[in-house]
Amino acid sequence: MALGPRRRVRRTLGPPVPAWLDEAVVRAAERDAIEPEPLWGLCERPQVACAVIARARDALEQASLRAALRSVAPITDECVVILDDSSAPDSDRMLEALGVRVVRRAWTRDFAAARNAVHEHTEARWLLWIDSDEVLVDAGDLRDAIARAERGGHQGVLGLLDTVGDGGPGESLRHIRVYERTCCRWKYAVHNELEGPRSVVPSTAVFHGSYVGTAEEKVARSLPMLLEQVASQPDEPRWASLLAQTYHVMGDTGEMVRWAERCIAAAPDQRAFIHRWCDLALARFTESPGQGLSTILEAVRRHPTHPDAWHALATMALARWYETAGPVESDLSPVRTARHREQLPAAARLLGLPLSHRVRGPADEGDPPPAVDEQPPSPGKPTEVEAARSRTDGLRVAFVCGPDLKFITGIEDAIAQRHEVRHLHFNERAVLRDVDAAMEWADVVWFEWCDELLVEASRRLTKRAHVVCRLHSYEAFTDAPARVDWRFVDRLVFVADHLRRLFEDRFEARPASVVIPNAVATDGLRLSTTGDPFAIAYLGSLDFKKGPQLLLQCLAELIRRDPRYHLHVAGVFGDPRYELYFDKMIPALGLQGHVTLHGWVDDVDAWLDDKSFIVSTSVLESFGVGIAEAMAKGLTPVIHDWVGAEEIWPREHTFRTVAEFADLVLRGRGKPEALRAWVRERYDLPRVAARVDALLSDVVGTTRNVEMGR
């Protein structure tokens, strides 16, 4: 969904509300202030609850809260508001008139505790959280996305937040907006984060957000809490980083430097703290260019694939080139403007950046530009920068991926052996500005998953690099591929032929495509030859895609023929209905003592050591990495014949009926060495990475017209 420009809203009637709110929401909030009408009624079995923590001390905060609630009411079944005890006395009556369940709670200086308190006052499976200074301006497919998450055993749904402030539009952030109540909790008293979601689905929902009040008020509230946290956890670099960030916003450079130094000293190699490196280097550069350059070069050495370290370095090069006086701009945005890009090669040359051409600077009349350092680099001798940015004879490849990284990290590492690689791994939020910067830097940008991130990038960014997207499975059952501007994509990668056929059956688009299977790092898996001959392994969530009913029916037939077999399950229930099914059917089928539920297993390699079979009862898979990993361990596969299975796995190891399943298991374990060799010949990481490498070179060599305006 392409987002139009945000507009300011002028208020003429009613209590004051934030200027960034949508006009319709403003009018509704003003009407509620006079004649409140219930937004929620009694719901016996709520599925989705709105969860809010709020403080409503005056008319401004009350109006903002009403607007937030009204915006999400149409897609939620009930609402719980944890109300700060400093709120005005009439706030309770106002909220109750809207059908809200109000819980007054003393402020304990812990935002996570307040958010978690909502969990105790609703039975809804899903919680949509919204702050009182936000509104849902476009629900999009949010309710359908929640249903997809429920069917697929996912624990969260992503939404887009466009931040707006008095200075105009801010960032676009993609993060989890709806989560499963029973398996997720908030952590950290301040700047809290959601923990628990293992996988999420995208949605097209768009929120607008701002801060009701002044920046000074927000800092005044959060700064003491951050100081409390660092006092209780002095060795935790997160708090030092957040304090440095806070003081940076306040304009207190001295305190920012102090806390940034403390953060970096505690965790110099954590990518999450790269901005502390950049802030510290830029602050030092203002006072002493040599010290600032030394700091950012150390950051580049430790984080050679992080774009922000290079942006900071380029900023310093440009500042030196223009002989900038005063503070260096620390948001790094000048590097991305056309005028600065024209001068970047010449300025970067001062630091030995490996750029192949030179553009004359504004004061350059033939003399070489002055050196930044006291001693310029010796001819032919690699500089620190050149050493940090090795392999520059290859391609520049940027990998863009959301929170599900399980299929891409091995490919990234392998490609980094031959090419210069940057990683954009977005956890709870995706920032298009960072993708745009990667587009400017890279020869090829690889989008892992054909999801909402690709949709937004294809519609909102200028195509300045070659683009590859890899589609796995679930995306083909969403409308995301139909909303991608496929002119943006040079090659679509499918992990199996049956997914390409499915894509072509469901969508009109016919982008250039290729099939490259998922990869398995077989060298990292120990071969097991002495597993229990009666131990059967199952890897994965117990949800509708994995066929848990068929799993128990197959086991029942096997136990009827030979009671020595035992099923070991590594995974959790993706839906409580399957837990009820297992509770009933295990004793009903006589499977007591034949099933062990191990929950989530961290070390799958070790867990598989004493097993002999790997079973898959899925209704559909894109590939089945768990099957491949178990086969590489030497386990014998027993695979339900889902669509496409016969094209990926040996036909003699697939079944269609419970009787065929039992026959395959009773045939006994295969030869571990042969099973491992079969996987290595087809799906071993080096083989697959070589195909990816060839694809990247082919895309760059055959798709010449890269620029596509927006």
The pair of three-digit structure tokens given for residue 702, joined into one six-digit string:
């055959």
Q: Token pair for residue 159?
A: 């939404």
Please give the pLDDT value at position 214. 53
Q: Is 198 exposed, middle or buried (0-12, 13-18, 19+ CB in 10 A)?
A: middle
Nearest to 465 by CA among 393, 389, 386, 399: 399
Relative orientation angle of helices 23-34 and 59-72, to the nearest 10 degrees = 120
Q: Give the count of beta carbons closer than 10 Å to the beta carbon of residue 570.
A: 21
Give every strand in the sheet of 636-640, ordered side by side: 595-599, 566-570, 535-539, 613-616, 636-640, 654-655
Tokens linked to 64: 């903002």
Residue 391 scores a pLDDT above 70: no
* Highest averaged pLDDT of the listed ranges 16-25, 46-55, 158-167: 46-55
Which band of pLDDT confidence, cut at 50, 70 and 90, is reported for residue 325? Answer: very low
Q: pLDDT per residue over 539-596, tens digit each?
A: 988 888 899 999 999 999 999 999 999 999 998 888 888 899 999 999 999 999 999 9
The separation between CA 407 and the C-alpha centre of its own chain, rounded to angstroms, equals 14
Query: Does residue 369 register a pLDDT over 70?
Result: no
Q: How many CB atoms lie within 10 A of CB 93?
A: 11
**Taking CA 62 as the corner, what is the angle to CA 58 and CA 65, rounded to the nearest 5 degrees?**
145
Crossing angle, helix 59-72 and helix 90-97, to 10 degrees? 20
pLDDT tens-digit readout, 489-505: 999 999 999 999 999 99
**Could you give the CA distance from residue 379 to residue 165 in angstroms, rounded to a whole number?**
50
How large a percentage of the chain has pLDDT more than 70?
79
Question: Cα-Cα-Cα-Cα dihedral of 580, 585, 590, 594, to 10°?
Answer: -60
pTM value is 0.51
Look at strands 156-165 and 168-180 and give their pairing. Answer: antiparallel
pLDDT of residue 360: 26
pLDDT at residue 3 tops 60: no
| Residue 103: pLDDT band with limits 50, 70, 90 | very high
Closest CA to 548 of 558, 538, 557: 538
Contacts of 369 (CB under 8 A, 6+ apart): 321, 346, 347, 349, 350, 361
Rg (CA), the chain: 28
Task: Compute CA 284 distance to the chain's CA centroid, rounded to the nearest angstrom.
Answer: 33
Amino acid letter for position 674: A
User: Which of 196-205, 424-433, 440-449 is least confident?
Assistant: 424-433
Structure-block tokens of residue 60: 């401004």
* 429 in Cβ contact with 407 (< 8 Å): no
Which token pair is 359?
């553009």
User: In this predicted model, which residue has the larger pLDDT, 145 or 354?
Assistant: 145
